[in-house]
Amino acid sequence: MKILFLGGTRFIGPHAVKRMTELGHEVAVFNRGHSPGASSLPNGVTTLTGDRSRLGESLPAFQKFSPDVVVDLFPYSEADASSLMETFSGVAGRVVAISSCDVYQAFGRVNRLEAGPVEEGPLTEQSPLCVTRYPFRGAREDRSDYDKVLVEQVVMSHAELPGTVLRLPMVYGPGDYQHRVYPYLQQMYDGRSVILMDEGFASWRWSRGYVEDIAEAICLAALHEKAAGQIYHVAEEFGFTMREWVERIAKGAGWNGKIVTVPATDVPTHLVMDIETRQHIQLDTSKIRSELGYAERFTAEEAMHRTISWESANPPELATGIIDYIAEDEWLARSGVK
């Protein structure tokens, strides 16, 4: 098959492109050509250069490649989705749009953007979606029109071009420009014998996915015709609590210290998390596993080993978070924890 990736050179994209070429398919990548990842694409990948915000200008190049499926790795807004579907209608056979678990009302409750009681149990693809539009408006200027709910509505309602949506969890692994694992690794590498966590945050459960496994799911969704018109979760089967997640990092890093949870009334200021930790984000992934045969290619241990190896070789240029060791040492001295 001929697969066109919109994006494909930042974090998840390179892994998905690599996997698709390993499976023997003809791949093209469309981007602005500015990302360092563009130079490390596998041999044989066609590169198309253009502006994502002006897809129509690149229509002749898209028509020449004639993709069977287009994978849009980051449709950002309703306008992005509309442009995507209008441009590739009559050009491609199907679109796979990458979405997020932030579409759920439960996720909105985590961030105190949605009213209502805590939703119990795993989220399914039919769980209630956010009713608050543009969740990041006012918080980040560059994301004022971000809204994955609207993206999904456009992709799944087009009259002529079938769509597939993948809702992703927190993704970690090599290439993670957000360095989600590093703040805890940093404390371990700094020789801390104790890592402190707010007790509510320590018990908060969040689904995650290793990036190369996420890439596998993207390829399956693109290659299986039965995925047309479907929405799928992709994540590890079990969503760890934050404490369990740090324990997993510690095991991978060979750190033998202690994790100590701190009551909310006594937690150092820099450890206060402004989220509703009673609302867990656990994704039910049975649908993609049963319908498309999805399974992780890497064990949990392999995934963490590869992640830590990359993070160690590619530490962030700037601190990924404020770790106030002085405040933590004062708390430890006051509490008598050693």
Find the domain containing 257 and state its range: 2-332
Is-above-0.75 flag for pTM? Answer: yes
Whether residue 338 lies inside any domain: the answer is: no
The answer to whether the beta carbons of residues 50 and 27 sit under 8 Å apart is: no
Task: Please count the structural domains in the chain.
Answer: 1
**Structure confidence at residue 66 as a pLDDT band (50, 70, 90):** very high
Beta strand residue intervals within the chain, DSSP E? 2-6, 26-31, 46-49, 69-72, 94-100, 163-168, 170-172, 194-198, 208-210, 231-233, 258-262
In a domain, 88, yes or no: yes
Q: Tell me the pairing of strands 258-262 and 194-198.
A: parallel
Mean pLDDT of 137-154: 86
Whether 337 is covered by a domain: the verdict is: no
Tell which residue, 172, 168, 138, 166, has the closest CA to residue 248.
172
Cβ proximity of 15 and 212 under 8 Å: yes
Classify residue 247: in a domain, yes or no: yes
Instruction: Determine the pLDDT at residue 306.
Output: 98
Tokens of 267: 């937690």
Q: CATH number of the domain that 165 lies in?
A: 3.40.50.720
Question: Looking at 78-87, 203-212, 268-277, 285-294, which range is the least confident one?
Answer: 268-277
CA distance between the termini of the chain = 59
Q: What is the pLDDT of residue 317?
A: 85
pLDDT digits (tens, 9 = 90+) for 88-136: 999 999 999 999 999 999 999 999 999 999 999 999 999 999 999 998 8
